[in-house]
Structure 1
């Protein structure tokens, strides 16, 4: 009977561990998605500001980097 309780306890703790890991990995995923969105927004804003300031070459670089980020993460 004692062995059975050890096995049951191990199964219960394993299940709790899986739930905790799944929760943290999901949070990490959505944090990464949010950070990617923030990066793209910042790059597009920088490109627009540079273009409005007459710095077309730097604006093209910012837009190019934003496009590369979009393509790699799609």
Structure 2
């Protein structure tokens, strides 16, 4: 099995879970409007977006660490 087949297999095996987690994110994330700012600046926004991607892809430990980073950057 080559790398491409391996990755395709992983994605196919996780597809249903990824879709469900993406739906959950879509239903629960705050709605940002144009000109709205997040405390903590660009670094906090990157951590927020990366935490969502980790959650969707099932990398839950990464989602936890990045969420903590987002919170720390937002309140400090």
TM-score by length of 1: 0.47
Structure having the larger proportion of residues in helix: 1
TM-score by length of 2: 0.46
Which of structures 1 and 2 has the bigger CA Rg?
A: 1
If asked which structure has higher relative contact order (CA below 8 Å, sep 6+), I would say 2
